[in-house]
Structure 1
């Protein structure tokens, strides 16, 4: 049995720890992470090991040598270009002439590899994935197996709505040599994205072994610290190679302690550390070799690498310090601060909580560092939510923030690319648009300013002017809450894909920017988008029929842009409009229709001539009727009732069931310039066209729409419990008809229930449909109770 240790990762999310250090060499209790992997393989009798290298390969090769000092034989395979996880293993093909195990050099685990290998042999598997359960599965591959352990579903890095379990792929694989024949030579190939999905689609014997024991992917600064705390707490079954001089107080050789030093376990003190008189080392501190802690310094939960000096009376709590750092006296360091290699912090300086300082920087005497030097900190949550980036204006969404965000976006584009920009009428939204414009142009990106607009106008203009993307900024309603929304669209005018969102987020967190003086972007102003949109819209409706009906509308909308934008359209159609609140009464105003348009022009609410508000299902049904003959294909979310699918089929509309996200529904027909469910004005015009054709009031037509009995509930669920809840939901409903397009949809004789984790809040949504309203309510309540119990 041989092994491959994957040791080529850059560990960008761990910067600045990994700026000068390969991720597998990041120390855990003063030993490289990869050393624990070698120990684990040796413990299970695996001593012939290939090591894949790419980033700073000599640091790994020089430290471990041929492996003889560790009781193993190491052979190195270096990549000159990135080959991906599977490509890296294929690069070792000459070495892998028998069954082998793949394991990461940057994870910490004590899992029973022998048991996983025995399971693999018993199942006669081509590949066996070692699985575990985690609280937050978003950064891993989520896996589902049948009763025998055979993998039946695999999804890499899902969104919360796609999470169907908390069981994930650990990146530890037991493979037969035949696996290599499925990997192309000298090409970037990934196990999770390409090889395993191929095995799944071709029905190859691929199994999942659910392992007990500790497993931690050292993928973030918080996890890096927690892994060492877990080691000190004895949660990991491994040898701590130091002397335990008192309960959970570990010393390596030649530690020097002066008088009145205070030690509170658990702590780890490395070789040749000097603790001077009066120093205080609090619980969960880890000091690397040759570190000096001067008189009166106070440390708590501090992780310090080798060759670092901590000056007199310096205080740090929850900080991480890399190697060769000089910290002068009376320095104050906040929780979560991270200091890179070779930095110098002068006396009385202050590093605020969460600040990261990249290697080779100096902080002057009495200086206060409140923002990261060179690179920014990763935020604790994703930037993107369901419908773009949201935050409180001038608090979370500031000009500084959008400048960095736009620069991150520009990094992913080719120089000279054209990006469209627009914003609502709010002065702060306009200000942010100009900050974005400046940042893009300074990065070599051309910008086209559409002026004041909304999301449908942005989508239309991007396609019409052949831009590679667009950004729209608006102040959401109610304005008193001051929530700013930033929406990105791609070259087709669709909301950017989740993959693109991740790329923007990664570039933002790493502050990977491009600034240039050689090719500054050009600024163009384009004020004809509104007129072009309206002209194209007029071509899609029956003008004469609408003009004959002389409709009277009561329209509620934002007061500054929409009335001006809509005025020429209503005038040409002979529609009389009164602007005001719907609560004033549609029938009282003598209107044929009440209309509420959201500020961003995407969502519409309709009220009949009798003042009845259309339900969400009635509105979609009306939109389907209004769009028949104009559209051939439409996306319906999995949350929509079956009756709407039947209605669409009667109208000869091809239906594709999709996730509930706007992009998923829109990309069913990406060639369409108007998307009825996300373009309020187009939806209104199509509705008027339909009503004019039928020559019946809306109240009459509502009675002809199919009856749908739906129930919706929102159940509180902590983020850490969502994966477990979804796994238990799957386990409980095994054998029932299931749909996993988005969340988990369970069918039974009484109807169906959709269980959908919220992507922005600590909630799970429950949507049900039944033959009667009571049935739907009972179904929803039943599953809501189970979600609460599963937590």
Structure 2
């Protein structure tokens, strides 16, 4: 049996560790990560190995050579252009003339490969994926199998709402040579996105082997550190190639330790390290070959690569230092800081916690470094949440932050692309918009300033002006919260896909910018979008019917922009509008209905002439009625009650059940200039058209709407438990009718329950519908209790 080691990754999330070092060469206990992979294959009798290369290939070739030093035979296959995971393996086709295993050169694992191969043989599988359980499955492929182990569902890098299990694809596969025939030559092909979904559709024998043992994908700086701590703690059953001179104190050859040196295990000290007098090496410290630590210095949880010099009376706590770093005397390095290759930190300097310094940088004497050098400062893993990027104004969302964010976005665009920009009326939102504008133009991107607006106006402007995308910035209500939201839309005016969000995030973390004095973008100002929007909207409503009814509205909205924006429209339609708080009373103002518009123009609440607020389900039902004859297809989230689907069918509206995300719902009616569920003004006017046609007050129509009984609960659930909770929920409900569009929807005799992990908070949402209110409440309470128990 042969093997393929995938060793072409750049490891961008590990920068600055990987700025000069390919990811498989990043050291774990002073040995390249890929060496552990080779040792594991050899342990299971696999010695003929192909190695796929792309990023800094010579570094890997020069280290491992032909493999004879490690008791194996290595053959290298280099890619000149990216081929994807499957394309890389197909590039080795001449070598792979028998069953083979694919394994990554940048993971650390002690999984029993022999047992996995035996499982593959017993199942007579074409492809076997080796699976494991992880606490947080978001960065992996979640896999579901039936009782025999056959794979029935595969989802690559899911959102929390798509996490159906904590069982994930390790990236280790056992293949029959026939698999290669399904991969095109010299084309970028991915196993997870193309090959495996094809096998599922075609019913090919594809199984998942649930493995025991240790597995860690060295994909982030935190995981990189933890993997080495796990090695020192004996959690990984792999050989540590050093002498254990005392419990969990490992020394390689020729280590020089002067007087009064204190070692507190677990520690690992590489070859030719010199520890001068009075040095204290605390737990979980790892020192690479030829490191010198001068007298009086204290290290704790420090990871130091080879050929690094640390000066006197320096304190290093939880810091990672790359190759050939020079640290002078009396320096303090904070927890989570990373110092790249060839950096020099002068005496009495302080590098604060979490700071990352790219290679070849000098830090001057007595400097205090609080922000990263050539690296972003925002420390959250994901910039994007459910509805864009959110943060405290001038605290988390600053002009500096949006400048870098816009430059990251520009990196994904073609030079000369046009991007529309708008912001709410708040001065700080407008200031941020100008920061974005400057950054995009300096990156060669043309900008179109739409002025003050909201999200529906932005979406309309992007599609009308045929822009490549748009950015809208607004301050949420109430203003005391000081929360800023930044929304990105694509060329169709839809919120950008998760794939694009990831690309923006990656470019941001890598500080991948394009700046040029020779290709500056142009700034355009467009004043006519509001008028064009109102004209187009008027063509989609019964203007004569609305005029005839002479509606009286009480409208509660933000005062800076909306009243002036809507005034020409309401004047044309003969609608008498009073602006004020709904709590003042619809009846008091003798209004036909009350409307509370959200600041961003996407959502609204509706009140009858009696002051009764419509439920969310009643409002959607009314929106469906008002869309009849205008829209042919509409997206309803899986959380919507079944009665709405039945209503839509009666209205001859095609319904597509979608995820709860705005993009998923909007995509169903792609090409529509107005999205009734995400354009409050359009939806309100459609409802006025419907009321004018029916000539009945809203309270009477509300009584005719289908009734349904819903219950919603939010259950606390730590991020690390969400995957386990979802897996246990699936296991417990085997045999029941399930829907896995978004979260897990379980159909019960008395109704249904939707279990939906929150994408931004440590919560799981429970949404239920029952035949009665009591049934819905009981279902919600029962499942909320189970979620708490599963943790």
Class of the TM-score when normalised by the shorter of the 2 chains: over 0.9
- Per-residue CA deviations over 1:442-478 (Å, capped at 9, x if unaligned) read 0000001010000000000100000000000000011
Aligned to 1:2: 2
- Per-residue CA deviations over 1:649-684 (Å, capped at 9, x if unaligned) read 111111000000000000101110111110000011
SS where residue 667 of structure 1 aligns?
helix
Shift in Å, 1:376: 2.6
- Per-residue CA deviations over 1:258-293 (Å, capped at 9, x if unaligned) read 000111100000001000000110000000010000
Q: Name the CA distance, whole Å, in 2 between partners of 1:379 and 1:663.
A: 26
Q: Name the CA distance, whole Å, in 2 between partners of 1:629 and 1:195.
A: 42
Q: Name the CA distance, whole Å, in 1 between partners of 2:91 and 2:415.
A: 34
Aligned to 2:672: 672
Aligned to 1:148: 148
Shift in Å, 1:378: 6.5
Q: Name the CA distance, whole Å, in 2 between partners of 1:79 and 1:377.
A: 34
Q: Name the CA distance, whole Å, in 2 between partners of 1:392 and 1:326.
A: 38
Aligned to 1:74: 74
Aligned to 2:523: 523
SS where residue 676 of structure 1 aligns?
coil
Shift in Å, 1:351: 1.0
Shift in Å, 1:80: 1.1
Q: Name the CA distance, whole Å, in 1 between partners of 2:444 and 2:92.
A: 41
TM-score where L is the length of structure 2: 1.00
Matches within 5 A, 1:685-764: 685-764=685-764
SS where residue 60 of structure 1 aligns?
helix
Aligned to 1:245: 245
- Per-residue CA deviations over 1:385-427 (Å, capped at 9, x if unaligned) read 1110000000000000000000000000011100000000100
Shift in Å, 1:377: 5.1
SS where residue 63 of structure 1 aligns?
helix
Aligned to 2:789: 789
Shift in Å, 1:65: 1.1
Aligned to 1:189: 189
Q: Does 1:279 align with 2:290?
A: no
Aligned to 1:562: 562
Q: Does 1:600 align with 2:628?
A: no
Q: Name the CA distance, whole Å, in 2 between partners of 1:179 and 1:161.
A: 32
Matches within 5 A, 1:28-67: 28-67=28-67
Shift in Å, 1:548: 1.0
User: What is the aligned length?
Assistant: 791
- Per-residue CA deviations over 1:527-554 (Å, capped at 9, x if unaligned) read 1000000001111111111111111111
**1:327–1:755: structure 2 CA closer, same or farther, 3 Å change rule?**
same
SS where residue 131 of structure 1 aligns?
strand
- Report if the CA contact (8 A) 1:14-1:220 is conserved: yes
Aligned to 2:226: 226
Aligned to 2:91: 91
Aligned to 1:391: 391
Q: Does 1:136 align with 2:143?
A: no
- Per-residue CA deviations over 1:165-220 (Å, capped at 9, x if unaligned) read 01000000010000000111111111111110110110000000000000000000
Q: Name the CA distance, whole Å, in 2 between partners of 1:555 and 1:60.
A: 67
Runs of 4+ in 1 over 2 A off after TM superposition: 375-381
SS where residue 546 of structure 1 aligns?
helix
Shift in Å, 1:686: 0.5
Q: Name the CA distance, whole Å, in 2 between partners of 1:532 and 1:234.
A: 67
Q: Name the CA distance, whole Å, in 1 between partners of 2:400 and 2:212.
A: 46
Q: Name the CA distance, whole Å, in 2 between partners of 1:676 and 1:375.
A: 41
Aligned to 2:616: 616
SS where residue 245 of structure 2 aligns?
strand
- Per-residue CA deviations over 1:128-186 (Å, capped at 9, x if unaligned) read 00000001101000000000000000000001111110100000001000000011111
Q: Does 1:656 align with 2:659?
A: no
- Per-residue CA deviations over 1:618-647 (Å, capped at 9, x if unaligned) read 000000001111101000000001100010
Aligned to 1:444: 444
Q: Name the CA distance, whole Å, in 2 between partners of 1:500 and 1:62.
A: 37
- Report if the CA contact (8 A) 1:379-1:509 is conserved: no
Shift in Å, 1:246: 0.4
- Report if the CA contact (8 A) 1:378-1:510 is conserved: no
Aligned to 2:12: 12
SS where residue 753 of structure 1 aligns?
strand
Q: Does 1:547 align with 2:547?
A: yes
- Report if the CA contact (8 A) 1:49-1:72 is conserved: yes
Q: Name the CA distance, whole Å, in 2 between partners of 1:622 and 1:362.
A: 64
SS where residue 668 of structure 2 aligns?
coil
Q: Name the CA distance, whole Å, in 2 between partners of 1:504 and 1:358.
A: 20
Aligned to 1:772: 772
Q: Name the CA distance, whole Å, in 2 between partners of 1:325 and 1:682.
A: 61
